[in-house]
Structure 1
């Protein structure tokens, strides 16, 4: 069972265990980083859509960001500031619980589920551990897989459910804008993933301060292999970085904003129009640590993920092979693959064997 970072620190840890030490070439100090304050992730205000001209502008800006960056921050997105704050507050309270209470929610105690407290992909000793503790919960349209009891502290589960419903609506809204960007009706992408039957999961990540931050990563570089769009709410401490033109760019937290990033599934359906890009989290030395909340919006399990025929032509042939989403997820988790490049095995010219 993986070692939880908070527990290690509570027991007086002063040096990073070997399991968490990254190879030199992956450490923050050894990889190119963009420190130019003038280069910032695009920020789009969704309130400017009252008229046709304003909506066209928002569509253009969202499309440009998802094409050039694979990421965008959005404001006035429809999720209330009160709900954003309540969800963040409950997450802080969960990670402040005693270790034995958090252990009740361990991943693996829930049959047939990747939900619970812990870090996925670390049951193989060859996998380098990331410097974080996590809690993964179902967000919406999960009938089975429910946690065995309400998450403590009391009220957390109800807030998570409300948060999930709000982000499901935001998912539909953002996909609508991207659909219009490719010249299709607003329900185009949403219908390709199962519409209102699509599912969502939320991952709470706590990044405690690290005694040797130069040796670790908060979260290793990866793309979101199982997601259509991912929504991230950050605390005020920065940590998220996006790979842009070979350099890592810090995503500065903006109050009440939600970070949106393209997942592999949307890259496949859009036939490469919108990009799923690498991102990571660098370790923090902030005394209180850092918290982020990521909601992964996914197709229904039986969805056949493939380039939309409407976006393909003789001059723009399909770039990816069809794959059932459930099969894609089974393969993703079986390979314990959070690293970059998973989508490449579904490229039409790939020699990798597809199960």
Structure 2
């Protein structure tokens, strides 16, 4: 639904526009040092030689609902939590429909094969990413080349700023901007479960 997608995009933009001190209330650093996946900040730095991503991110677990760390959910805009909850519920329906269709495509005996593999406590995480302007953009990636370790990623891209690329046959292809579209990225877990029929693409 376009209204819901617009609402999620506006809410995430509003959060990233907040002063840094406000955003730090949701930091992903415990005691300013120890990294945790959830919260606001940058991705983990494991070594001084690491190539860093040029990206701020807000990373939140939304399912299972009883494992949400609400203290890390922004309260500005005020309706951020409601928007995120409703958006991810709708995305969950898309995810289930996709997994059913993929099982049918493979002519599996059970259309629920992939859905059942997730179990009753399947995790759903949300990552809102913001890529600040960079004075030397030729030296950085917003996110360096990687595959997703997930089952599926549903990606809502910016409606006017591109940059996403997918690697195919040694060539990086630009992903076109299509407003109000969810881009589906197959994750490593699905490639494994499908015995390689569905591929987890390298992207950046």
User: If the length of structure 1 is used for normalisation, what is the TM-score?
Assistant: 0.54
- Matched ranges for 1:39-54 at <5 A: none
| 1:82 aligned counterpart, secondary structure | helix
Contact 1:115 1:147 in 2 (8 A): no
Pair 1:162–1:112, CA change in 2 (3 A): farther
CA deviation digits over 1:136-169, x for unaligned, max 9?
A: 0122214235131541311111111111111111
Cα deviation for residue 192 of structure 1 reads 1.3
Contact 2:152 2:186 in 1 (8 A): yes
Q: 2:115 aligns with which of 158, 172, 190?
A: 190
User: Which residue in the other structure is 2:153 paired with?
Assistant: 230
Q: 2:176 aligns with which of 243, 252, 264?
A: 252
Contact 1:142 1:199 in 2 (8 A): no
1:82 aligns with 2:7: no
Q: Measure, in 2, the Cα distance between the counterparts of 1:113 and 1:93.
A: 23
Contact 2:60 2:72 in 1 (8 A): no
1:166 aligns with 2:79: no
Q: Which has the larger radius of gyration?
A: 1
| 2:144 aligned counterpart, secondary structure | strand
1:115 aligns with 2:38: yes
Q: Measure, in 2, the Cα distance between the counterparts of 1:167 and 1:131.
A: 27
| 1:165 aligned counterpart, secondary structure | helix
User: Which residue in the other structure is 1:273 paired with?
Assistant: 197
Pair 1:257–1:160, CA change in 2 (3 A): same
Q: Measure, in 1, the Cα distance between the counterparts of 2:72 and 2:191.
A: 36
Q: 2:99 aligns with which of 162, 175, 180?
A: 175
Give unpaired runs (5+ residues) of structure 2.
none
Give unpaired runs (5+ residues) of structure 1.
1-79, 281-355
1:155 aligns with 2:79: yes
Structural RMSD (CA): 1.8
Q: Measure, in 2, the Cα distance between the counterparts of 1:150 and 1:247.
A: 39
Cα deviation for residue 120 of structure 1 reads 2.3
Contact 2:35 2:44 in 1 (8 A): no
User: Which residue in the other structure is 2:56 paired with?
Assistant: 133
Q: Measure, in 2, the Cα distance between the counterparts of 1:179 and 1:245.
A: 26
Q: How many residues align?
A: 199
User: If the length of structure 2 is used for normalisation, what is the TM-score?
Assistant: 0.91
User: Which residue in the other structure is 1:48 paired with?
Assistant: none
CA deviation digits over 1:269-325, x for unaligned, max 9?
A: 111111011000xxxxxxxxxxxxxxxxxxxxxxxxxxxxxxxxxxxxxxxxxxxxx
Q: 1:199 aligns with which of 99, 103, 123?
A: 123
Contact 2:166 2:174 in 1 (8 A): yes
